[in-house]
Structure 1
Amino acid sequence: MTTSVHAPALDPALAAAAPGGVLVIDFGAQYSQLIARRIRECRVFSAVVPHDASPDEVAALRPAGLVLSGGPASVYEPGAPALNPRFLELGVPVLGICYGMQAMALTLGGEVARTGAGEFGKTSLTVRSREGMFHALPAEVCWMSHRDGVARPPAGFAISAETEGAPVAAMESPERRMYGVQFHPEVVHTPFGTDLLKWFLFEACDCSPTWTATHVIEEQVERVRAQVGDSRVICGLSGGVDSAVAALIVHRAVGDRLTCVFVDHGLLRLDEGEQVESAFGRHFGVPLVHVQAQEHFLRALAGVTDPEQKRKTIGREFIRIFEREAEKLSDARFLVQGTLYSDVIESGSRDAAKIKSHHNVGGLPEDMVVELVEPLRQLFKDEVRVVGEELGLPESMVWRQPFPGPGLAIRIIGEVTAERLEILRRADFVLQEEIRRAGLYRELWQSFAVLPAVKSVGVQGDERTYAYPIVIRAVTSDDAMTADWARLPYDLLERISNRIINEVPGVNRVALDLTSKPPGTIEWE
């Protein structure tokens, strides 16, 4: 097995959070992010780093342990990601999961069999030893997803569990503090999975359950102070929970040296600009500058239909406006953004393909003159909400459904025009009103309307119409990394459809999006 010659640099934001946490070495697994989330649910910090990261950089982060993720079907596949043996020499406990266990076994001199068969789904598990990771765990059933398997563990490893198809379903070497499981403890289908991860975290790694909202706030306040020094700071406020939480953390760090800038790009929902200004002025003691830039963004987006170009155009114009506002504030050198971990992943980190450029990550111009401050960069959305509650944000802001920075521009499939924006605003208002009346707002991750820039024939009042369709999109999710389409009641869908067609001029058809993520994304663009 070979290792990458050019190891990518790790995200500097990890430096403050990683010490004492557990890092997930990603071999391209479907569940790498889920492993990190399960560890965080145990109140231990975790983040995903690529398998070809520099072991020296990983060691410098001072993690308490490493988890080797799953990966492709076989360690023998051409181009299969390799385990750098130096990861096993960092002196910290290591847990290999599925492909990660196979890579560990192969690297340490064990044997991995190319069986061509495998186990998938619910599988009976027989524990052979209760001396280590299976101590007192009711481990009888697990969830498998593999073809190859470890046929012979490395020297010094004991087989601690087996299944009918995997004679080495778990192995461990307490002396070397190395452990491996062929099954997936991070999925809910492995009933004892969380308990096994807790054993690794608190027994093998001796972690402390300190990853709490209070800890995150204190840690990020210190990090912001170290980054900005005595400089003035501006914050791009959108009215959503992400930018509001980021603003409050930075305000704790720098006080009155923070000014929030709310750029109304004209791509907001109905009356949202006024609501943001009113709510922020009522709940926060931070200066707010409201920039009216509706016409500016419409001109910039004229003729733009490609979704990536839309995001990049909006990201560029946001930054230019913030830079101009910074010049008015004694040349503030820092810009606060509510960037989340999921934004970074989807915009194309080293360990993930680029799905779409988020306007605040991949959509930023390269020639920025302000330095970014991103106190939420290592957090998922649900973690941000917990931090927001700890900071005292009102419930209406904490639980506001996510709204993209590019706003309605990426919910209009085609060119953005004033007419299409008005149609989409009114249709979305009807949808949101009915969702709230049905008591489903908190149950849904997101619910919104989409306007494809096509027209179809309809009949209204015995007359032919040629108008736009509206597509209803509603999903459930925990963190936006995966999502399922929401099973809205038929009577609710009927009310929404009737109201949109009757109340919104320019619409004669309503459709429902039944696509989960993957294969689709939550937003259409």
Structure 2
Amino acid sequence: MTSSPSHRPVLVVDFGAQYAQLIARRVREARVFSQIVPHTATVDEIMAKDPAAIILSGGPSSVYAEGAPAVDPRLFEQGVPVLGICYGFQAMTVALGGQVAETGLREFGRTPVNVCEAGVLLAGSPDEQATWMSHGDAVHAAPEGFAVLATSAGAPVAAFEDDERRLYGVQWHPEVKHSPLGQSTLENFLYNGAGLQPDWTPGNVIAEQVERIRARVGDARVICGLSGGVDSSVAAALVQRAIGDQLTCVFVDHGLLRAGEAEQVERDFVAAVGVKLKVVDAEERFLTALAGVTDPETKRKIIGREFIRVFEDAAREVVAEAGESGGEVKFLVQGTLYPDVVESGGGEGAANIKSHHNVGGLPDDLQFELIEPLRTLFKDEVRSVGLELGVPEAIVWRQPFPGPGLGIRIIGEVTRARLDILREADLIVREELSAAGLDREIWQCPVVLLADVRSVGVQGDGRTYGHPIVLRPVSSEDAMTADWSRLPFELLAQISNRITNEVADVNRVVLDVTSKPPGTIEWE
């Protein structure tokens, strides 16, 4: 495996945009590494990350509103290429001495723009192109030294650039698919404006991580919390590529698994990758710790804590079994992804949507150093890395399943009886989706038991008072945003009939038709 130098990030400065994560994704689709930082980051903090380029995102504010986020003019004096988008474009204009004002003509949705000079940013663009706008204010005068590239009915200056200083901006949203030439605009900025190479590939990600892991671990021993899902499996395969038999994977059967989980880990992953596996039966431990708990954040933190305690016990056993040839287990591998970090607060000033058990749910007295080789990746990028590493497709394309398992798909207290109900319903849903050939068509289909809710039904000519089961099929690219999947009515009817006929204490099946936002994919 050849090594590859670390990639400097393209930083997306988030001004509260609904599309900030999408900008970062589009940059990565151009095979350039990107990360998101909050608009509250100072110029010194931004430059400490050694950015290769900077993109200023859109946002809901007016640049002239009291308390509106502003851009420090010093940012444009650092010699780093900058692209402003929508609000970022306007904030850039104000910081550099241009003029922004209301035009009286707001532009929302599909908007044609006239290209008067292609320049670097709009190279290859026709004289008129369709874009996606969302603005009330507009740039009326570009800052000194900037060439105006495009105009629209509501934006006298819809795009500009100062190529000498490598500063660029557009009023529209090039990151959304409704701007057909948007990706070309972003790539013009990345490749021609910023001079970056499209070399952030799965192979390079692997090479970089292998080099870092080897340097960090040395001759120490490492354990990996292996769940059998794509995230932990790819993380384990990546670390094994780096350090071989210094790694032992620990599979914790916490009693919150779906039907067949443990068998799949041993059958598919271990057989294909050849990793050392230690299985721990911890069902009683987890169910005892969760007894009486209904708050979802508390559940996550309990599950995160108990995972770590089990890993600590397993680490001592690994050392004892190795005897004199062994060494201290210093590191714990986790399959943490970028969406986990963002939703858990991210350490960058982001809002804490929910604590993921492997991020915000870890105990303060953690005895391991963490290795999280996928921490900067989205799910589809993890799958690409997994395929490159030779992880079986049955695991790579498996629908995401949360580390806390069915514990956060039971709304209410987690008990063995409730887990049995949910496991049966979940298995039916998975069987029917597979039979319909939809395993890869939908991103994920959480099955949720409303354990503290009952509704009246009729079965066998008698009254029942059973639990509802919720189906939550969603489509997504990266779990940062999602829409509910439009499953065929015939399939929904088949699933409902089987669950209400085959699963005791369930007399109603309902469909969750909420997008993300406003709802998260998991209910808890």
TM-score band, normalised by the shorter chain? Answer: over 0.9
Q: Deviations over 1:380-416 (max 9, x none)?
A: 0000000111011111110000000000011100000
How far off is 1:27 after superposition?
1.3
How far off is 1:55 after superposition?
2.7
How far off is 1:130 after superposition?
2.4
How far off is 1:243 after superposition?
0.5
Amino acid at match of 2:386: G
Structure-2 residue corresponding to 1:363: 361
Structure-2 residue corresponding to 1:471: 470
Aligned partners of 2:334, 2:500: CA distance in 1, in Å? 38
How far off is 1:59 after superposition?
2.5
Could you say if the C-alpha distance between residues 116 and 342 of structure 1 is closer, same or farther in structure 2, counting changes exceeding 3 Å? farther
**Structure 2 residue corresponding to 1:372, chosen from 370, 376, 385:** 370
Q: Are the equivalent residues in 2 in contact too, given 1:120–1:146 (CA < 8 A)? A: yes
Amino acid at match of 2:203: T
Aligned partners of 1:468, 1:18: CA distance in 2, in Å? 52
Structure-2 residue corresponding to 1:509: 508
SS in 2 for 1:209: coil
SS in 1 for 2:518: coil
Deviating more after overlay: 322-331 vs 54-63: 54-63
Asked if 1:383 is matched to 2:372, the reply is no
SS in 1 for 2:474: strand
Structure-1 residue corresponding to 2:195: 206
Structure-2 residue corresponding to 1:497: 496
Aligned partners of 2:119, 2:431: CA distance in 1, in Å? 57
Structure-1 residue corresponding to 2:521: 522
Structure-1 residue corresponding to 2:88: 100
Amino acid at match of 1:238: S
Could you say if the C-alpha distance between residues 116 and 30 of structure 1 is closer, same or farther in structure 2, counting changes exceeding 3 Å? farther
**Structure 2 residue corresponding to 1:281, chosen from 247, 261, 270:** 270
Percent identity reads 64
SS in 1 for 2:473: strand
Structure-2 residue corresponding to 1:342: 339
Structure-2 residue corresponding to 1:123: 111
Aligned partners of 1:397, 1:17: CA distance in 2, in Å? 29
RMSD: 1.5
How far off is 1:117 after superposition?
4.8
Structure-2 residue corresponding to 1:113: 101
Amino acid at match of 1:479: D
Structure-1 residue corresponding to 2:179: 190
SS in 2 for 1:81: coil
Structure-1 residue corresponding to 2:312: 323
Aligned partners of 1:96, 1:245: CA distance in 2, in Å? 35
The correspondence of residues 136-155 of structure 1 with structure 2, limited to 5 A, is 136-138=124-126, 139-155=128-144
How far off is 1:474 after superposition?
0.6
Q: Are the equivalent residues in 1 in contact too, given 2:120–2:192 (CA < 8 A)? A: no
Asked if 1:270 is matched to 2:251, the reply is no
How far off is 1:481 after superposition?
0.8
Structure-2 residue corresponding to 1:7: none
Aligned partners of 1:280, 1:158: CA distance in 2, in Å? 56
**Structure 1 residue corresponding to 2:330, chosen from 325, 330, 333:** 333
Amino acid at match of 1:27: F
SS in 2 for 1:59: helix
The correspondence of residues 45-444 of structure 1 with structure 2, limited to 5 A, is 45-115=33-103, 117-138=105-126, 139-330=128-319, 331-349=328-346, 350-444=348-442
TM-score scaled by length of structure 2: 0.95
Aligned partners of 1:60, 1:311: CA distance in 2, in Å? 33
Amino acid at match of 1:370: F
Aligned partners of 2:12, 2:5: CA distance in 1, in Å? 14
Deviating more after overlay: 402-411 vs 341-350: 341-350
Aligned partners of 2:365, 2:485: CA distance in 1, in Å? 41
Structure-2 residue corresponding to 1:12: none
Aligned partners of 1:392, 1:108: CA distance in 2, in Å? 50
Aligned partners of 1:83, 1:481: CA distance in 2, in Å? 26
How far off is 1:102 after superposition?
0.9
Q: Are the equivalent residues in 2 in contact too, given 1:64–1:206 (CA < 8 A)? A: no
TM-score scaled by length of structure 1: 0.94
How far off is 1:463 after superposition?
1.6
Amino acid at match of 1:301: L
Aligned partners of 1:162, 1:117: CA distance in 2, in Å? 13
Stretches of structure 1 that go unaligned for 5 or more consecutive residues are 1-15
SS in 2 for 1:140: strand
Q: Are the equivalent residues in 2 in contact too, given 1:73–1:146 (CA < 8 A)? A: no
